[in-house]
Amino acid sequence: MIRGDDLAKDMSRYLIDQIERHPRVTVLTRSEVREVREVHGDGELRSVVVENNKTGERQEIPARALFVFIGAVPNTAWLRGTIQLDEKGFVPTGPAAMYTNGDG
């Protein structure tokens, strides 16, 4: 779930690619978990109630896992010119590290 319309606003391209390629990951835009008590389960997660922040519609989604990403602002300016950084200042990893963007 992301509160906005687009993953690219606050995430590195590498992470977006991993999310978009994974067959068991669904991204819901303009959606939020509104209340902690609406995360249901008996010792383990079974479902999550989410609300679309544009329409107000709520839905219960079966889930066994929930990854919370609260955003990131890379503190990598000091690395510029030393190692490769992407356009947002993240250090590429995995296959993304094999390509250069001219920064390092």
Report d(CA 76, CA 78) in Å as an integer: 5
Contact 29, 16 (CB under 8 A): no
Residues 11-43: tens digit of each pLDDT: 778 788 888 888 988 888 999 987 644 566 677
76-91: b or e for each residue (b if 16 or more CB lie within 10 Å)? beeeeeeebbbeebbb
Residue 2 has pLDDT above 50, yes or no: yes
Report d(CA 58, CA 78) in Å as an integer: 44
pLDDT at 1: 84
pLDDT at 35: 61
> Per this entry, what is the length of the chain?
104
Q: What is the mean pLDDT of residues 97-102?
A: 58
Which domains are present in the chain? 1-72 (3.50.50.60), 74-104 (no CATH)
Residues 49-83: tens digit of each pLDDT: 899 999 999 998 888 777 777 767 788 889 988 88
Report d(CA 61, CA 49) in Å as an integer: 6
pLDDT at 63: 81
